[in-house]
Amino acid sequence: METNAAGPADERNIEIKARVGSDEEFARRVEIAKKLTQSEGETIVQRDVFFNSQSGRLKLRYLQAPAKSQLVYYDRPDVAGPKLSKFNKIEVDEPEVLEKILTLSNGAKGIVAKTRYLFMYERTRIHLDRVENLGNFMEFEVCLLPEQTIEEGQAVADKLIKEFGIQEADLMTGAYFDELKP
């Protein structure tokens, strides 16, 4: 039986993650996001369960109702600064059942729980995250249209890095999960 590994086209974004540090610095950056987006943003409580995967990262994201939980596969290089992330996601009606299936078949690696403050700036998702047992972080996801180039997305990310005063030393290479101590 032949399978089509290509399937639907990957969604793409240019992403950066950075450590924020103190609660005061976190609050300062929330204020920058509010001013930049002219909004109060949205608060989202998330719990991500990571699973073993042959490549990339596979996670089941639990979201509070009325939002639906999501299964997300993504692949991006572990380098500091703006990087291309390719991903696919699908809403999940029964996340507990899917978690059991994936744990039994693939093995679970661990959990990242966070409160996320989401702000939208044009086509960019600005996340200010308080991650349990890790601290304060922020990330940008510059959502690319199919016709947009990686360079166009990187230019937006670079502009926001300057706007928020993110230092090169604060840029992260991997995922929050990679920061957790076993």
Looking at residue 134, its amino acid is L
- Residue 1 in domain: no
Within-domain flag for 129: yes
Q: What is the pTM of this model?
A: 0.90
Count up the domains in the chain and report the number.
1
What span, in angstroms and rounded, lies between the C-alpha atoms of 81 and 17?
A: 7
Q: Say if 6 falls within a structural domain.
A: no
- What percent of the chain lies above the pLDDT cut of 70? 95
Instruction: Work out the pLDDT band at 8, boundaries 50, 70, 90.
Output: confident
pLDDT level of residue 1 (50, 70, 90 thresholds): very low
Q: Cα(5)–Cα(3) distance, rounded to whole angstroms?
A: 6
Q: Structure tokens of 59?
A: 């996670």
Kindly state whether residue 124 falls inside one of the protein's structural domains: yes
Q: What's the pLDDT score for residue 180?
A: 84
CA–CA gap between residue 141 and residue 74 (Å, rounded):
13
10 CB neighbour count, 10 Å cutoff? 14
Nearby residues of 41 by Cβ (< 8 Å), 6 or more positions away: 30, 33, 34, 117, 118, 119
pLDDT, tens only, 111-131: 999 999 999 999 999 999 999
> Phi first, then psi: what are they for 61, rounded to 5°?
-100, 115
In whole numbers, what is the pLDDT of the chain averaged over residues?
93
Confidence of residue 3 (pLDDT cuts 50, 70, 90): very low
- The verdict on residue 175 lying in a domain is yes
Within-domain flag for 4: no
Alpha-carbon torsion 87, 90, 91, 92, what sign? negative
**Is residue 3 a part of any domain in this protein?**
no
Residue 135's DSSP bridge partners are 131
**26 is in which domain, residue-wise?**
11-179
2, pLDDT greater than 60: no
Using CB atoms within 10 A of its CB, is residue 38 exposed (0-12), middle (13-18) or buried (19+)? exposed
The contacts of residue 9 (CB under 8 Å, 6+ apart) are 146
Cβ atoms of residues 169 and 39 within 8 Å: no
Kindly report the CATH number assigned to the domain that includes residue 29: 2.40.320.10
Q: Domain for residue 77, yes or no?
A: yes
